[in-house]
Structure 1
Amino acid sequence: MGEMNDKVKAGHRKTWALGDYPALATDVIPELGRVIVQASGVTSGDRVLDIAAGSGNAAINAALTGADVVASDLTPELLEAGREEAARRGAHLEWREADAEALPFGDGEFDVVLSCVGIMFAPHHQAAADELIRVCRPGGTISLLNWTPEGFIGQMFAAMRPYAPPPPPGAQPPPLWGDPGHVQNLLGDRVTDITIERRMLHVDAFGKPEDFREYFKAYYGPTIATYRHIAEEPEKVLALDQALTTLAQNHTQSTSPYTLNWEYLLLTARRTSN
């Protein structure tokens, strides 16, 4: 079982090292880091953990408030990009390679535990949820921002699923973290004062639907891995090309400038004392 899990984690690291996710985070979704930091109420002096931080979209914004921040992620290439971005922006924080399902931190070590479209990609949802609660102090804040199943990115994963490599045993679809009922079941009675809000990110980084498709084929690890899986089957490549183009057409808000609507779920809660 341990050897299988090691292979799963190695595959996960490899996927997210493909392409250039840090560029995507900076060019396409920079707003989300600011949104979750504001929602979680991070202030100077707070001890903050960003789980599956990637290149630090949220963690860097948290550090700029004066908080004591640890950015953790399974993929060292993303952490290195984050260090460079933090230096450029004058943010001081700690970067730790860590598995969201087995965090190397003590019980109740953090005042605020957050994750911005990150923890959703840990394959075993309950294990990741148990860890994020464990490391948050009683009375501390938990804040999660995840793509919804019904929204653009959730539907993108649904479109890619028939063409993607099979998921590891026991893995659950990432967009379930954007389903309110699913997340509340994961957290259970270990949190209180839950606030849940669906919001829309308006993305104007692309000129037309095909531009989105080609950008994700070049920059986004899961999309790159999916196309590599079907590289020897040109008819499947064409079918996935069309599916992603149609997806973008169906989520177009405006054509001047060309703008896509991407729905996400923002959840904040307080860790109970039990």
Structure 2
Amino acid sequence: MTDTIDATADRALKAKHRAMWALGDYPSVARDLIPELGRVLVAATGVGPGDRVLDVAAGSGNAAVPAALTGAEVVASDLTPELFPAGRAFAAREGAEVTWEEGDAEALPYPDASFDVVLSCVGVMFAPHHRQAADELVRVCRPGGRIGLVSWTPEGFVGEMFRTMKPYAPPPPPGAQPPPLWGDERHVRDLLGDRVTDVVARRQTVTVGGYPSPEAWRDSWKTVYGPTIATYRNVGDDPERVAALDHDLAALAARYDRGTDGIVLDWEYLLLTARRA
């Protein structure tokens, strides 16, 4: 059952989320660090010609553009339309046709059963109210259609990064759940329930490199990734806490590093696909 959410508080929360994801340069993260994730998700859900596809919390089109290149009709929806110019440029470079529309993952502006495939690539996991977001994924997917999700796991690098930042970040609003829970198969199965069948879930990794040191990764991440920028801003007037956060993030990257010439990090994610019952 969907919990009741105070409308005024929710609007304020969504405004903060939109502003956070507009910080930095998330399109460069999607383009340079994790471009393969969208392609993996599109392949796993069998997107093809004739499919009507919705990419929820699409960002700059990591999954939407590969989906469109299969010949599908694709809508990319996101709470933060500031990301769309980069997405349109990405689609143009690839020769893909994508429709870009502002939308809240917890209140999608589409009729019931209006898409053959509903995707989200490390996107819907950041909607604060998991049950509402899951309800919307199912609602807009037609019976027999496919749902496909890529989400960072709680135990992987990105899940650890959010745990590392938590003591320095503003407290979460009431009712908000941690994003990496979407990387826990049991949690997602519970959210989707008996409204889906044929659930397939597996943990995989994407390899991230290109930084000479853990400190270089940290210094880049604190300029390009919205949640990290917001966390640094929260402690910005306390030099000791800034230094502590600097230390903790670099230590995290050093712990995961398996490279010999520059750092190499494996970021674990859950790839889950299902069919609408």
Against the structure 1 CA distance between its residues 257 and 211, is the aligned structure 2 distance closer, same or farther, given a 3 Å change threshold?
A: closer
- Provide the identity percentage: 64
Of 204, 212, 221, the residue aligned with 1:216 is 221
Shift of 1:129: 0.1
Map Cα deviations across residues 64-105 of structure 1 (whole Å, 9 max, x no partner). 111000000000111222112111221101101000000001
Query: Is residue 138 from structure 1 mapped to residue 162 from structure 2 by the alignment?
Result: no
* 8 Å Cα contact 1:79/1:97 also seen in 2: no
2:57 partner letter:
A
Q: Of 137, 158, 168, which residue of structure 2 is paired with 1:163?
A: 168
Correspondence for 2:258: 253
Alignment correspondent of 2:49: 44
d(CA) in 2 for partners of 1:236 and 1:255?
30
Alignment-derived partner of residue 270 in structure 2:
265
Q: Is the 8 A contact 2:24 2:223 kept in 1?
A: yes
Instruction: Answer yes or no: is 1:176 the counterpart of 2:181.
Output: yes
SS at match of 1:193: strand
Q: Distance in 2 between the 1:241 and 1:205 partners? A: 19
**Letter paired with 1:141:** R
**C-alpha displacement of 1:257:** 4.8
**Equivalent residue letter for 1:79:** F
CA distance in 1, matches of 2:12, 2:260: 43
Q: Deviations over 1:24-72 (max 9, x none)?
A: 1101111111110111110011000000000001000100111000000
Structure 2 partner of 1:57: 62
Q: Which residue of 2 aligns with 1:242?
A: 247
1:250 positional shift: 1.2
1:63-212 to structure 2, matched below 5 A, reads 63-212=68-217
Is the 1:106–1:135 contact (alpha carbons within 8 Å) kept by the matching residues of 2? yes
Structure 1 residue runs without a partner (length 5+): none
* Alpha carbons 2:47, 2:72 under 8 Å: kept: yes
- The more displaced of 121-130 and 85-94 is 85-94
What does residue 3 of structure 2 align with? Answer: none
How far apart in 2 are the matches of 1:254 and 1:197?
Answer: 25
Q: Which structure 1 residue ranges, 4+ long, deviate > 3 Å from structure 2?
A: none
1:231 alignment partner, one of 205, 213, 236: 236
TM-score (norm 2): 0.97
Specify the code of the residue in structure 2 equivalent to 1:271. Answer: R
Provide the C-alpha distance between the structure 2 equivalents of 1:147 and 1:248, rounded to a whole number of angstroms: 16
Q: Distance in 2 between matches of 1:123 and 1:45?
A: 33
What is the DSSP-based 3-state SS (H/G/I as helix, E as strand, rest coil) of the residue aligned with 1:49? strand
Matched residues in 1 for 2:177 and 2:260: separation?
A: 35
CA distance in 1, matches of 2:22, 2:222: 14
Structure 1 length-normalised TM: 0.98
Contact 1:27–1:205 (CA under 8 A) maintained in structure 2: no
Aligned residues: 272
Q: Any conservation in 2 of the 1:217–1:227 contact (CA below 8 Å)? A: yes
Aligned to 1:194, the other structure's residue is in SS state: strand
RMSD: 0.8
CA distance in 2, matches of 1:160, 1:55: 25
Indicate conservation of the 8 Å contact 2:59/2:123, yes or no.
yes
Distance 1:21 1:93 in 2: 19
Unaligned ranges ≥5, structure 2? 1-5
Equivalent position of 1:12 in the other structure: 17
Q: Quick one: which amino acid aligns to residue 147 of structure 1?
A: W
Aligned counterparts of 2:56 and 2:150: Cα–Cα separation in 1: 11
Secondary structure at the counterpart of residue 66 of structure 2: helix
